[in-house]
Structure formats: C-alpha cells, structure tokens
Amino acid sequence: MAKVWINPAFKDTYKKEEPLKEQIKKPKENKKTYVKKTKKDFPQTKKIVHSENYFNKRIRENDIVEFTFINNMTLVGSIEWFNQRYIKIKEAKTSDDILIDRRPIKYIKKYESVKSEE
C-alpha cells in the first residue's frame, strides 16, 4: 500500500510512490560460466624428449655408439637400456656390460669405423 503524506501548507494530499517490483534490483545470481580447463584437469602424459627418442632408436636398430665423456675418454658399444640417470652399454671390444651415469657424458654419436685404404 502507498504511503500517504499530508502537507499542511497545501490542501492536496501527496502520495510517495513505492518503487515497483520490477524496478527493485535483485542481486545477481551466480551464473555458471565456462571454466577454462587447466593442465591439472587433463590426464598427465609422459613427455618424451629428443634424447629418449635417440636412445630408443639406437636400441631398436642395435647400433654401435661412441660415448665421449667430460674428461675426453671415449667408450664404444651398443645401448642395452637406459633410464633417467643411467645407461647400460655392452662394450664392443670386450662385450662387457657397463653401467654408466648420464651426467658426465659430453656427447654421443653413431660409431663409424675407419676403413684403411689399401
């Protein structure tokens, strides 16, 4: 019901208008918005780096590889298996199994035997 206000200076009666229900602002409801998925939401896949691809290729093809270490020592053999820290090598000359740490390796290349020209 409207509030009535009577002004004694005037003969007329004035009414204060109440705001309509449509005019009253309702608080905004939390609407469901699109939530961007983060990396945590997706299943974790193991990242394969280029060095692992190289090792896997050498193991598959059973290639002879030359390892050069930080102190310029070289080792020639085929890779049997590897993990994050170690590589197991079957040495070419003596066919010994050698387990080496990956950190002191300077570089690895496919072994090419030098043929002497006669």
Residue 85 has which token pair? 């820290």
Q: Which fold has domain 63-110?
A: SH3 type barrels. (2.30.30)
Beta carbons of 98 and 75 less than 8 angstroms apart: yes
- The predicted pLDDT at position 52 comes to 86
Return the domain boundaries, the chain: 63-110
Beta carbons of 24 and 56 less than 8 angstroms apart: no
pLDDT, tens digit (0-9, with 9 covering 90-100), for 73-116: 999 999 999 998 999 999 989 989 999 999 999 999 999 876 55
Using CA atoms, how far residue 47 sits from 11, 14, 51, 52, 118, in Å, is 87, 78, 11, 10, 49
How far apart CA 35 and CA 12 sit, in angstroms, is 59
Question: How high is the mean pLDDT of the chain?
Answer: 79
Q: What's the first-to-final CA gap in the chain, in angstroms?
A: 118
